[in-house]
Chain A
Amino acid sequence: MIIQDHMDLMEKLTILSDAAKYDAACTSSGVDKKNNGAGMGNSKACGICHSFAADGRCISLLKILFTNECIFNCQYCMNRSSNDVVRATFTPEEVCTLTMEFYRRNYIEGLFLSSGIIQNPDYTMMQLAETVMLLRTKYHFGGYIHLKGIPGASADIIEAAGWYADRMSVNLEFPTADGLKKLAPHKSRTTILTPMRQIQNGIQQNKLQIYHKRDEGNHWSHDISDAGSSFSLHQKRKTVIEKNGNQSAFPSNHHPTSINSTVNDFISLEDNQHSKNALLSTPSGSKQMFVPAGQSTQMIIGATPESDYHIVTIAEALYRQYSLKRVFYSAFVNVNQDNNLPAQPDGKGVPLLREHRLYQADWLMRYYGFQSNELLSEEKPNFNVFLDPKCDWAIRHLEQFPVEINRAGYYTLLRVPGIGVNSAKRIVKARQSAKLDFQDIKKMGVVLKRALFFITCQGRMMYNTPVEENFITNNLIGIDQRKLFDIEHHHSYQQLSLFDDYHMQQG
């Protein structure tokens, strides 16, 4: 290891932000938090982007590692112990200074602090906990903090940190025990899932505490908002949740498949005594709220051979069984040019399109009431490259179309390609006072060039197009791309770099 003793802040920032840049994060916290009057900062439920990097990604947090002096040797990571890279470690005070000064200048919304494992998991977690405690108690920082939970760290240190962070996340990394063993030999499903369960229980227990305090007539100014919570109301209604909380039954139409049982074996965890009594004490000077913006996790996509179906099934199970707010995906980039891992001659990593499709599916599951097994199946385990998951679903369910804009229910409208949450809401409102036509709904944000195949307005289709699979498919993907579409059905996602600049666009 190359460790330099006298390194200035600029060098450390360079190394430790470079090392953190593949982490996915987002501040749409779902929590509105006012300034408490004493310090600096607040946080917004809607998420604010402070800049956009040259790759087009939103910059909202100071995203850094605390250290890259890591004793673990994860194959996919440039900071693994066997690599010869320059190492650096911040002090807690340095992280505080950068956060405060960046925040004052409105460069950032808050801090995203992750870390390599220095000395051992407990020592590392302690450094992280100390940093966030300093930020909150000494610097009175009121902005957003996303803190990584270190796999294998003791429960009491994780808890101590959780009182000062808004969000915590423990990276799942890979969706199978085998993937972990091969690529992250020092991590295991138990060291990852245990803190995840502990944080989940802590959040639940804390909500109850707050609820009771309210009952006693205490003035509690914070509102725990469930906005942006992991599943839509629709989904909640559909999901039967057993009384004791953690384990939820799959809906009855969810036939167990072999993927489902693999997934369940992997992520279910026996509760031990430790994690059940998650919260020991509320430290003074903290916000008295434990991880109020909830928990998320991250998976690396494309380093291991799992199908999209496998991945969305894992994500769905994580949302249910660990009450996660978000599952993030990080398209694998072979930074080490390692032979054990998929080769990437162009240096670009897994096509962003795949990551993009997974996020679209995630969106459909969280806000549109879709279930993983509606989008994919064991027979059709990967997303269509040329059609977004919603178009793809609609084309496979043409018997449900066309739907009449002036009559169809809200959730039916949501399933129409080209109609999003906002436009569906507007339609439902506007049609109370008038019969809507194509031009009306276009102004309301409906993307007609996609929707027109699936809808009628006052009984008429826009162009009398046939509700027929080949016709619609051809039109939606464009004649030119059709050839590639055929190729795709025999090959994999790899040849799709031409779609790299395709970006988020929710229909």
Chain B
Amino acid sequence: MNTLQTTHIFQCDDTLDGILTAVYLAWQKGTSCTDIRVRNMNANFSFFEEIHDVATDLSLVERVTHSIETKLSADILFYIYRCALSYAPDKASVIYHYLQKAFRIGPSIVNYLHDETVMRVFELDRQIGTEAHKYLGFVRFEELENGVLASRINPKSNIIPLIADHFADRLHNENWIILDTVRQLAVVHQAGLGYVFTDHITEEQLLAFSKKSMNEESFQALWERFFHTIAIEPRRNDKLQRNMMPLRYRTYMGPENER
């Protein structure tokens, strides 16, 4: 094999649809000389690469998802969906290689944990699952004057799509919004109806949206008091607290963020 062979890199949008479009196009070109990558994600370019910019094409996405669902399983599709939300720079490539192996082996691929790619997908899935789970608890809402509950988060991975259902069920009769300030992506829920995802929303826009409600300060103060009183002071253990609730989660939390 010629080691100087050019690799064709298919560069795509940072979405599942983008990645699956690239998977389709790269596959067509031949799996031995291709790889895929999310645009602007990891930039160690090499001389022996030829970059192809991929425009997301839903008809191609449709074909790929159809084969995953029929030849593999719906679970595997969901697995890949979650990985596509990850912040890991290598995620597109990992998904590509995972699918190559999966189509060779079949649905039992999920058990091949000794395989490096399968393990990597497993890790990405676990990472994002852990972060999403943490945010189910760490999201904080503030009540605005117009009754809307507003929250800001700054997750590593794009976890908003994974937590929206939970809050839609829990706060079914409330108007609420959760904004990912890193990606400027928000989920907006309307009482009794449902939610939509909206992008290009900045933190400033959210803050300018409405003032805090009259009671907001006092409930924050009550919570702050509770947070401090409930700790058993002689057993103070900052290290344990930081392990369980790393600082990066606390940016928009109240008393937890004082230091």
- A positions within 8 Å CB-CB of B: 9-10, 13-14, 17-18, 20-22, 34-35, 37-42, 44, 46, 48-60, 62-63, 98, 101-102, 104-107, 109, 142-143, 333, 346-349, 352, 426, 429-430, 432-434, 436-437, 440, 443-444, 500-501, 503
Interface membership of chain B positions 125-139, coded 1 if the CB is closer than 8 angstroms to chain A and 0 otherwise: 000000001001111
> Interface majority SS on A: helix, strand, loop or mixed?
loop
Do B223 and A50 touch across chains, with their CB atoms under 8 A apart?
no
B215 CB contacts on chain A under 8 angstroms: 101
Do B140 and A98 touch across chains, with their CB atoms under 8 A apart?
no
B247: min CB distance to chain A, Å: 12
Tell me the total A-B contact number using a CB cutoff of 8 A: 168
Q: Which of B113, B137, B225, B253 lies in contact with A48, CB distance below 8 A? A: B137
Q: Which of A14, A37, A444 lies in contact with B225, CB distance below 8 A? A: A14
A34 CB contacts on chain B under 8 angstroms: 169
Q: A58-B244, A104-B149 are in contact. Are A17 and B230 (CB under 8 A)?
A: yes
B167 CB contacts on chain A under 8 angstroms: 106
- Report the Cα distance A498→B217, complex, angstroms: 41
Do A105 and B230 touch across chains, with their CB atoms under 8 A apart?
no
Of the listed stretches B55-63, B64-72, B231-239, name the one at the interface; the rest are far from the partner chain: B231-239
The reply on B25 being an interface residue by CB < 8 A is no
> Interface majority SS on B: helix, strand, loop or mixed?
helix
- Report the Cα distance A356→B195, complex, angstroms: 43
- Report the Cα distance A430→B169, complex, angstroms: 36
- Report the Cα distance A106→B137, complex, angstroms: 7
The reply on B226 being an interface residue by CB < 8 A is yes
Do A430 and B227 touch across chains, with their CB atoms under 8 A apart?
no
- Report the Cα distance A54→B236, complex, angstroms: 5
Task: Report the nearest B residue to A107, measured CB to CB.
Answer: B223
Do A56 and B237 touch across chains, with their CB atoms under 8 A apart?
yes
B132: min CB distance to chain A, Å: 11
- Report the Cα distance A49→B133, complex, angstroms: 9
The reply on B203 being an interface residue by CB < 8 A is no
Q: A105-B219, A433-B111 are in contact. Are A21 and B229 (CB under 8 A)?
A: yes
Q: A40-B172, A41-B170, A48-B136 are in contact. Are A17 and B226 (CB under 8 A)?
A: yes
The reply on B142 being an interface residue by CB < 8 A is yes
B123: min CB distance to chain A, Å: 8
Interface membership of chain B positions 169-202, coded 1 if the CB is closer than 8 angstroms to chain A and 0 otherwise: 1111110000000000000000000000000000
Task: Count residues of chain B with CB under 8 A from any CB of chain A.
Answer: 54
Do A52 and B245 touch across chains, with their CB atoms under 8 A apart?
yes
Do A51 and B245 touch across chains, with their CB atoms under 8 A apart?
yes
User: Can you list 17 A-B contacts with CB-CB less than 8 angstroms, sorted by A residue number?
Assistant: A10-B222, A39-B172, A50-B137, A51-B138, A52-B245, A53-B230, A53-B231, A54-B228, A55-B236, A57-B232, A60-B137, A101-B215, A104-B141, A105-B219, A106-B139, A426-B113, A443-B114
Q: Which of B204-257 contact A (CB under 8 A)?
A: 215, 219, 221-223, 225-241, 243-245, 253, 256
- Report the Cα distance A474→B119, complex, angstroms: 33
A502: min CB distance to chain B, Å: 10
Do B227 and A51 touch across chains, with their CB atoms under 8 A apart?
yes
- Report the Cα distance A332→B206, complex, angstroms: 47
The reply on B143 being an interface residue by CB < 8 A is yes
A18 CB contacts on chain B under 8 angstroms: 229-230
4 more A-B residue pairs beyond the given contacts A40-B171, A105-B219, A349-B234, with a C-beta to C-beta distance below 8 A: A51-B256, A55-B236, A430-B111, A500-B235
B128: min CB distance to chain A, Å: 16
B233 CB contacts on chain A under 8 angstroms: 54-55
B108 CB contacts on chain A under 8 angstroms: 432-433
Do A443 and B113 touch across chains, with their CB atoms under 8 A apart?
yes
Task: Report the nearest A residue to B220, measured CB to CB.
Answer: A105
B172 CB contacts on chain A under 8 angstroms: 35, 37, 39-40
Do B113 and A429 touch across chains, with their CB atoms under 8 A apart?
yes
B234 CB contacts on chain A under 8 angstroms: 333, 346-349
Which of B172, B221, B239: most chain A CB closer than 10 A? B172
Q: Which of B111, B149, B231 lies in contact with A21, CB distance below 8 A? A: B231
B111 CB contacts on chain A under 8 angstroms: 429-430, 432-433
A9 CB contacts on chain B under 8 angstroms: 222
Q: Which of B100-135 contact A (CB under 8 A)?
A: 108, 110-115, 119, 133
Q: A42-B169, A48-B133, A501-B239 are in contact. Are A440 and B140 (CB under 8 A)?
A: no
Do A443 and B143 touch across chains, with their CB atoms under 8 A apart?
no
Do B149 and A55 touch across chains, with their CB atoms under 8 A apart?
no
Task: Report the nearest A residue to B109, measured CB to CB.
Answer: A433
The reply on B151 being an interface residue by CB < 8 A is yes
Task: Report the nearest A residue to B255, measured CB to CB.
Answer: A51
B42: min CB distance to chain A, Å: 23
- Report the Cα distance A35→B115, complex, angstroms: 41
Q: Which of B115, B137, B240, B256 lies in contact with A503, CB distance below 8 A? A: B240
- Report the Cα distance A386→B239, complex, angstroms: 21
B166 CB contacts on chain A under 8 angstroms: 44
A437 CB contacts on chain B under 8 angstroms: 114
A41 CB contacts on chain B under 8 angstroms: 170
- Report the Cα distance A501→B231, complex, angstroms: 15
Do B138 and A50 touch across chains, with their CB atoms under 8 A apart?
yes
B139 CB contacts on chain A under 8 angstroms: 106
A63 CB contacts on chain B under 8 angstroms: 230
A177: min CB distance to chain B, Å: 29
- Report the Cα distance A20→B231, complex, angstroms: 10
- Report the Cα distance A139→B15, complex, angstroms: 41
Do A13 and B113 touch across chains, with their CB atoms under 8 A apart?
no
Do A40 and B235 touch across chains, with their CB atoms under 8 A apart?
no
- Report the Cα distance A432→B114, complex, angstroms: 11
Which of B138, B221, B222, B253: most chain A CB closer than 10 A? B222
Q: Which of A39, A426, A429, A501 lies in contact with B237, CB distance below 8 A? A: A501
A107 CB contacts on chain B under 8 angstroms: 140, 223
A54 CB contacts on chain B under 8 angstroms: 228, 231, 233, 236-238, 241
Task: Report the nearest A residue to B238, measured CB to CB.
Answer: A54
- Report the Cα distance A433→B108, complex, angstroms: 9
